Structure 1
């Protein structure tokens, strides 16, 4: 701002104007400086706030994750299988041996699993439903049925009545001829019928035959069409029970029908 000459006629007026303008300029500068300070302080706060936010995020990311497995309760296991009941029944045989019939499950879910010893010294078969087992007591030639509750009954035919009415008692026949095969090798045909081999109905022949017994009514019926010196009952298949008759394989069902 140019200072007016003292020799000017309007010197006083110009000086007053000059002073006023100077005051205004100072006020404007102060106002601008104040605005600048306010703006800088606000921006600084924003920067500081953002910086603190970033630090907070970094701190959260670097914070060790707490192992939720520690102190947490272990998941409750499904105990339906672990608490499943298992046990066995001990069956005494006439030769002094015993058979252990193992089952699993409880109440109506119980099922037979195996028979021990499993070395072949005990002849047995488990029904298709696994609710029954047949054991063969070789010394007494008896067929024993054991149900899933451990109840035992003798299924052996105690006597044979011929078509002419002659009666052959089991105990008498075996006593007179210990090598005679009254019954042997019982196998399930289904849950209600078993098959077994026997020399009945003949006494003076060595050929064997297949008989079927109904568990419910204890009826014994000979299968027509099977006879041989060596008759073996094997596994149950879709065709029926496998029977090997002197090297020839056939299949028998519960009704006594034979198929190749």
Structure 2
């Protein structure tokens, strides 16, 4: 914008116009500057807000992922624990005291109708015992009193010993009297299961003055005692139960006896 000549007739008018234009230009510049500042601050704020929002979203996502990982880990641990609880059955025991004061622990696992005997302690051979094929009963031999004890899966104990023997002539011989008169006499020993309803044991009965041993079978249901024919020996031992029956070693000869009293080789 050129400055007008002072010699011009419209000098005053042009100067006033010039000043007005300058004022308008200054105002326009100021307005542009103000608008620019406002725009820049707003954009900067949006950038900051956007950044904060992004950070907030990232933090929230991280927390969610972490929470999911912890939840998954916890679920995995719970699942593993539940699986372990299902696969591992709880063990418990019944304590049975023998006549010599020794305690025998009958260990079982499971609960309710699923309970089964697992083992007997002490298992060092100091106490003769046997677990039934179904694992629902245990038979113990009380050596001091020569008693055969039956314990069921609920811990109920019965004395299954034959308390007396009646000879073919009608003579009655009681266990207590016979053992009192001859402490070395074998009234009964080594009970073993033939099946879930019958046990076998070794005895010197029916003879009093002989040292030979015999095999007897007792029914657990009616407590009936029957001597097995064709097994007799000075040294008789029971071994494991097989498909043929109970393994019996008779003076070095192995035979098998089943619940009906049948003997095979």
TM-score (norm 2): 0.71
Answer whether contact 1:102 1:112 (CA < 8 A) is retained.
yes
Q: Deviations over 1:77-109 (max 9, x none)?
A: 233334x33210000001111100000000000
Instruction: Identify the match of residue 208 of structure 2 among 181, 184, 203.
Output: 203
Q: For the aligned residues, what is the CA RMSD?
A: 1.8
Instruction: Identify the match of residue 86 of structure 2 among 80, 84, 87.
Output: 80
**Residue aligned with 2:228, SS:** strand
Specify the alignment match of 2:246 in structure 1. Answer: 241
Q: 2-side partners of 1:220 and 1:111: how far apart?
A: 27
Specify the alignment match of 1:231 in structure 2. Answer: 236
Q: 2-side partners of 1:71 and 1:169: how far apart?
A: 72
Specify the alignment match of 2:95 in structure 1. Answer: 90
| Number of residue equivalences | 197
Structure 1 stretches lacking a partner, 5+ long: 1-63
Displacement after TM superposition at 1:211 (Å): 0.1
Specify the alignment match of 1:70 in structure 2. Answer: 70
Q: 2-side partners of 1:236 and 1:174: how far apart?
A: 30
Displacement after TM superposition at 1:233 (Å): 1.0
**Residue aligned with 1:175, SS:** helix
Q: Deviations over 1:171-230 (max 9, x none)?
A: 000000000000000000000000000000000000000000000000000000000000
Specify the alignment match of 2:191 in structure 1. Answer: 186
Displacement after TM superposition at 1:253 (Å): 0.1
Answer whether contact 1:142 1:154 (CA < 8 A) is retained.
yes
Displacement after TM superposition at 1:70 (Å): 3.5
The structure richer in helix per residue is 2
Q: Deviations over 1:46-67 (max 9, x none)?
A: xxxxxxxxxxxxxxxxxx9x57
Displacement after TM superposition at 1:74 (Å): 1.9
Structure 2 stretches lacking a partner, 5+ long: 1-61
Specify the alignment match of 1:11 in structure 2. Answer: none
